[in-house]
């Protein structure tokens, strides 16, 4: 089954999948926090569009509700909250020096190949071409983890964590025609709670070590090394 | 008949290249609230330069005097490979995309040699910068080209364009990435604004101009013409690979005329976009070009990956 034999909606959803992958790479190489948050919001917007398209083409109206929730939570509320905190803590002018940026990027490309390799047997047994996008969503998850490893600012870690959730959400759309409404509501609520909790954590980390650079937490060792 | 058509197409390429850069200059001037020169100004400049006697430095070797001819003919050969108004021409069948990249590399090699040959500081600086940029741009370009060739399962440009054309409108994620990678590479390779400024002679920033600083007269005319040809080649590549609609598939007068009209429209639109981006974007520091080009490479790589992951048949 080739892409040219598919209808327009499937092609559009696959293109969206590719763009979601691109936003993950953009986040990986981004040293400025505000721009990082902006790209994260862009990823949320792409997810919203994908969900809307899937809702329309699969004819499952409850996906519209989850698209709506994605729009409100991941495009507007969480980016707004993170942005406010970055501005409040006066970090929006800092440029984080990323170590080994090129190596991290190449590692990201490697992760994408790896997730394709891992999912190849699963995708092979199915006939739906939308499952092709599963590899992209797994790589979004892995790239989110890589983002958390390679960045040092706590805000970047939160963005990485949220983009892992984006990857899982995307996988749910392309693989299962959307999860049951209860599950989606629960996940959305969890993300919301996590976002609020992270805000409180930021505050505490900031008051105890006077920075959000998590590398400096290593100084909290009880034993001198 | 076909060969005649191929030669006419190549001549058309050579003849229209200055017009494209004149149009680009015209758009840019109007966007920047300046008075624009006539669209034919590049032709007048070329005529003036051709009539003038070239001045060659005392220590210049044969490389310096031969280089303009070599560069110009390499570009003309490259132009003969790229389908402008019709696919399936005999010249297009004789060489593929990788040869095309080779032609570009060949011309660049001689340009860099000519810059070094004269022994001035500027020439050497320009050559070293040019080689630095092109060594990063070439892999990105090849990556974007490989995405196309894997989709069409051929490296022949003419057959690949015909393949894209016959498939009709397919939304391919890999082509989106490959197109952006190719646009970024084209901007870097033709020395346009974020990488190099073609209108400046400020020593800190110039790349292309530094290499050809010692040229004058008809030598300079040939090099200028070659760089205008290169700009047009990249424009035609981008336009015809990603929006091939309108290109002539048979050799009737009607189809050919329509093809010419289509490619002129596409190139004019591309030039408008280029002039808008050149007006909005400032030139970047030389040491940031590396980041820019590695982003182009990343896009090319993502195009390839998304072709394999999302599109390939299974």
Q: Furthest-apart CA pair in chain B: how many Å?
A: 65
Q: Can you say how many angstroms the Cα of residue A160 is from the centroid of all Cα atoms in its chain? A: 6
Q: What is the dihedral of CA A113, A118, A122, A126, to 10 degrees?
A: 0
Q: What is the CA radius of gyration of chain A?
A: 18
Do the Cβ atoms of B125 and B133 come closer than 8 Å? no
Output phi, psi for B248, to 5 deg. -75, 130
Candidates A44, A36, A55; CA nearest to A19 is A44
Rounded Cα gap, residues B146 and A37, in angstroms: 33
Q: Can you say how many angstroms the Cα of residue A42 is from the centroid of all Cα atoms in its chain? A: 10
Rounded Cα gap, residues B241 and B269, in angstroms: 15
Query: Own/partner pairs for B194-201, CB < 8 Å, 24+ apart?
Result: B194/B281, B194/B282, B194/B283, B194/B284, B194/B292, B195/B133, B195/B283, B195/B284, B195/B289, B195/B292, B196/B283, B197/B283
pLDDT band at A176 (very low <50, low <70, confident <90, very high): confident
- A109 contacts B305? CB cut-off 8 A: yes
Q: Report ipTM (2 d.p.).
A: 0.81
pLDDT band at A224 (very low <50, low <70, confident <90, very high): low
Rounded Cα gap, residues A142 and A135, in angstroms: 11
A63 exposed, middle or buried (CB, 10 Å; 0-12, 13-18, 19+)? Answer: buried
Query: Own/partner pairs for B29-32, CB < 8 Å, 24+ apart?
Result: B31/B275, B31/B276, B31/B279, B32/B279
Do the Cβ atoms of B308 and B189 come closer than 8 Å? no
Q: What is the mean pLDDT of residues A172-198?
A: 84
Residue in chain A lying closest to B303 (CA): A18
Strand partners of residue B77: none
Q: For B179-219, write each residue's pLDDT tens digit.
A: 999 999 999 999 888 888 877 777 777 888 888 888 999 99
- A18 contacts B177? CB cut-off 8 A: yes
Nearest CB to B313 within list A2, A21, A133: A2
A1 touches chain B (CB under 8 A): yes
From first to last of the 314 residues of chain B, give the pLDDT tens digit: 788 888 999 999 999 999 999 999 999 999 999 998 999 999 999 999 999 999 998 888 999 999 999 999 999 999 999 988 888 888 877 888 899 999 999 999 999 999 999 888 888 999 999 999 999 999 999 999 999 888 888 888 888 888 888 887 788 888 989 999 999 999 999 988 888 887 777 777 788 888 888 899 999 999 999 999 999 999 999 999 998 888 888 888 888 899 999 999 999 999 999 999 999 988 888 888 888 898 899 999 999 988 888 877 65
Residue to substitute from B167, B171, B178, interface A, most A β-carbons within 10 A: B171
CB < 8 Å to A27, chain B:
none
B186 exposed, middle or buried (CB, 10 Å; 0-12, 13-18, 19+)? Answer: buried
Output phi, psi for B244, to 5 deg. -75, 0
User: Does the CA dihedral B31-B35-B40-B41 come out positive or negative?
Assistant: negative
Six-digit token pair at B49? 């330069």
Rounded Cα gap, residues B161 and B228, in angstroms: 23
DSSP A26: H
- A109 contacts B310? CB cut-off 8 A: no
Count of structural domains within chain B: 1
Q: For A60-102, write each residue's pLDDT tens digit.
A: 888 888 889 889 999 999 999 999 988 888 877 777 767 778 8
Domain that holds residue B39: 2-311
- B310 contacts A3? CB cut-off 8 A: yes
Do the Cβ atoms of A87 and A68 come closer than 8 Å? no
CB < 8 Å to A131, chain B:
none
């Amino acid at each position: 089954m080739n892409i040219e034999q598919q209808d327009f909606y499937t092609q559009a959803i696959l293109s969206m999948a590719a763009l979601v992958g691109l936003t993950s790479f953009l986040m990986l190489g981004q040293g400025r926090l505000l721009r990082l948050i902006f790209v994260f919001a862009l990823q949320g917007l792409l997810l919203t569009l994908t969900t809307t398209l899937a809702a329309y083409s699969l004819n499952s109206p409850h996906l519209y509700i989850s698209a709506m929730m994605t729009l409100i939570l991941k495009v507007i509320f969480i980016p707004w909250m993170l942005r406010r905190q970055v501005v409040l803590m006066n970090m929006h002018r800092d440029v984080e020096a990323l170590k080994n940026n090129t190596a991290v990027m190449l590692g990201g490309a490697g992760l994408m190949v790896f997730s394709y390799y891992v999912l190849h047997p699963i995708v092979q047994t199915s006939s739906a071409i939308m499952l092709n996008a599963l590899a992209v969503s797994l790589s979004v998850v892995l790239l989110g983890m890589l983002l958390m490893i390679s960045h040092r600012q706590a805000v970047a870690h939160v963005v990485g964590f949220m983009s892992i959730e984006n990857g899982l959400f995307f996988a749910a759309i392309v693989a299962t025609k959307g999860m049951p409404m209860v599950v989606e509501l629960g996940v959305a609520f969890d993300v919301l709670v996590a976002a609020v909790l992270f805000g409180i954590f930021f505050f505490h980390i900031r008051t105890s070590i006077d920075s959000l650079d998590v590398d400096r937490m290593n100084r909290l060792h009880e034993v001198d090394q | 008949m076909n060969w005649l058509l191929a030669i006419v197409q190549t001549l058309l390429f050579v003849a229209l290249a200055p017009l494209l850069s004149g149009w680009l200059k015209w758009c840019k001037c109007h966007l920047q609230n300046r008075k624009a020169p006539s669209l034919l100004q590049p032709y007048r400049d070329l005529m003036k330069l051709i009539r003038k006697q070239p001045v060659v430095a005392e220590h210049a070797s044969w490389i310096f005097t031969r280089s303009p001819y070599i560069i110009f003919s390499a570009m003309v050969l490259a132009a003969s490979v790229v389908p402008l108004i019709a696919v399936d021409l005999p010249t297009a069948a004789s060489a593929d995309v990788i040869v095309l990249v080779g032609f570009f590399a060949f011309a660049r090699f001689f340009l860099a040699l000519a810059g070094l040959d004269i022994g001035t500081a500027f020439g050497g600086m320009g050559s070293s910068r040019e080689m630095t940029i092109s060594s990063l741009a070439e892999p990105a370009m090849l990556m974007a080209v490989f995405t196309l060739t894997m989709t069409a399962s051929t490296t022949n440009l003419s057959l690949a364009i015909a393949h894209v054309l016959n498939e009709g409108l397919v939304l391919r994620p890999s082509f989106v990435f490959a197109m952006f990678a190719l646009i970024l590479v084209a901007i870097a390779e033709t020395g346009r604004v974020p990488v190099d400024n073609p209108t400046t002679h400020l020593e800190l920033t110039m790349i292309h101009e530094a290499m050809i600083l010692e040229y004058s007269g008809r030598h300079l005319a040939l090099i200028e013409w070659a760089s205008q040809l290169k700009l047009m080649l990249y424009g035609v590549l981008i336009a015809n690979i990603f929006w091939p609609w309108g290109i002539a598939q048979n050799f009737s007068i009607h189809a050919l005329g329509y093809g010419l009209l289509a490619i002129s429209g596409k190139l004019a639109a591309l030039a408008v976009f280029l002039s808008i981006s050149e007006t909005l974007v400032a030139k970047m520091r030389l040491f940031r070009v590396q980041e820019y080009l590695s982003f182009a490479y990343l896009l090319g790589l993502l195009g390839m990956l998304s072709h394999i992951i999302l599109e390939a048949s299974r």
